[in-house]
Amino acid sequence: MAEKSVILVTGVTGYWGSRVAARLANEAGIHVIGLDAEQPTGEIQDIDFIQADAWNPALPDLLRLEQVDTVCHLAFVPATRPREAAFEQNVMGTTRILGACAQAGVRKVVLKSSTMVYGARPGNSAFLAESHALRGSRRYGYVRDMVEIEAFCRGYRHQAPDTLVTILRFASIIGPTADTPMTRFLREPGAPSLLGFDPMIQLVHEDDVVETLLHAVHRDAPGVFNVAARDALPLSKIRGLAGKPPLLVFHPVAYWGTNMLGNRRLELGRFLPMDPDYLRYPWVADLTRMGDELGFEPRHTAEEALHEFAEQQQLRRTLSEAATLARSEDRLRQVMQQRQQARESLVTDIPSADEGGGDD
């Protein structure tokens, strides 16, 4: 009987880690180890869970003992504000994971990144190849951390040439269940479009993100790959398909993040879940390598992903309205019952004519 290939997934209690690990666990010939600093809230079926973080000194020994072939590193804190705690886990944690892989002789590492690392700038070319400079905005923590991680990976590939490293740069992720900057933007009724700007934006369905990660685990494709649906769309059409009404503002308002009612400064992350540059300037990635070298094609178009997102949002609103109506009906019926009981009590307390105190 052939030995199983051992794949370790970090961040296994998180959204992406749990989905990828669950899919791998259903495949024959694979033993899945799930690594996370946090205990799972429920049972993780068919996954060999180990509670540990990237800072554990014994991590290289664990990888060596378990004969791990591939590490799919999905432990990432998507903090909007630049925070040192998130930087420690995201950037420094990744360096520790990669260092442990090199020490233990792990054959392959798969990392999840974003096309946001290119930055949205007025001088960007029509299609940004994987070799383009990384000039992503550092105002948002998750973009800053991904740029730093990729900067480290460039040097790591030279220092550990025996480790095959695959980096997947995903476009804006959208879907019915994923919580991403784009889904938060499209769910937020007050998030603006910048007056005079309507950039082309790429999307990728959340299911295609999982499929790409699985594809990279199974296929040896070293290097960096942009991943997105082929049909880039203008922001105005994205909003329309998602059922989000337009809210046009002058771009300084979005950058200032000002509360127009109270005239108080707000943190930019509370005003927009993504940097306004990405709603203003182009950052469309070239997808040539995705098809030719990675050998992957997303199953969902951007329009299909948006329609599914919009349908799910409408369903949630309908269910929410129905639940609100049901709660309102229950409250009213409780009031009616209390009033009826009060009336019955009042009638019972009033003496009848036969009980009166008249003279015989």
Give the highest mean pLDDT range of 42-46, 73-77, 331-335, 347-351.
Answer: 73-77
Instruction: Give me the phi and psi of 84, to 5 degrees please.
Output: -65, -35
348 pLDDT more than 90 = no
pLDDT at site 103: 97
Q: What is the mean pLDDT of the chain?
A: 87
pLDDT at site 253: 64
Classify residue 15 as exposed, middle or buried by CB count within 10 Å of its CB (0-12, 13-18, 19+): middle
Least confident range from 72-86, 100-114, 284-298, 317-331: namely: 317-331
Percentage of the chain modeled with pLDDT above 90 = 64
Question: How far, in Å, CA of 93 to CA of 99, rounded?
Answer: 10
Helix, strand, coil percentages for the chain (3-state, nearest 5): 45, 15, 40
pLDDT band at 317 (very low <50, low <70, confident <90, very high): low
pLDDT band at 114 (very low <50, low <70, confident <90, very high): very high
pLDDT at site 249: 77
Cα separations (Å) of 226 from 56, 106, 203? 32, 24, 11
pLDDT at site 254: 65
Task: Specify the pTM.
Answer: 0.83
Of 337 and 352, more confident: 337
Encode pLDDT of 169-209 as tens digits. Answer: 999 999 999 999 999 989 877 667 888 899 999 999 999 99
pLDDT at site 260: 40
Question: How far, in Å, CA of 104 to CA of 324, rounded?
Answer: 55
Encode pLDDT of 12-28 as tens digits. Answer: 999 999 999 999 999 99
pLDDT band at 2 (very low <50, low <70, confident <90, very high): low
Tokens, residue 348: 């019972």
pLDDT at site 331: 74
Mean pLDDT of 220-240: 95
pLDDT band at 264 (very low <50, low <70, confident <90, very high): very low
54 pLDDT more than 90 = yes
Of 262 and 122, more confident: 122
pLDDT at site 269: 46
Percentage of the chain modeled with pLDDT above 70 = 85
Question: How far, in Å, CA of 316 to CA of 348, rounded?
Answer: 48
Contact 281, 124 (CB under 8 A): yes
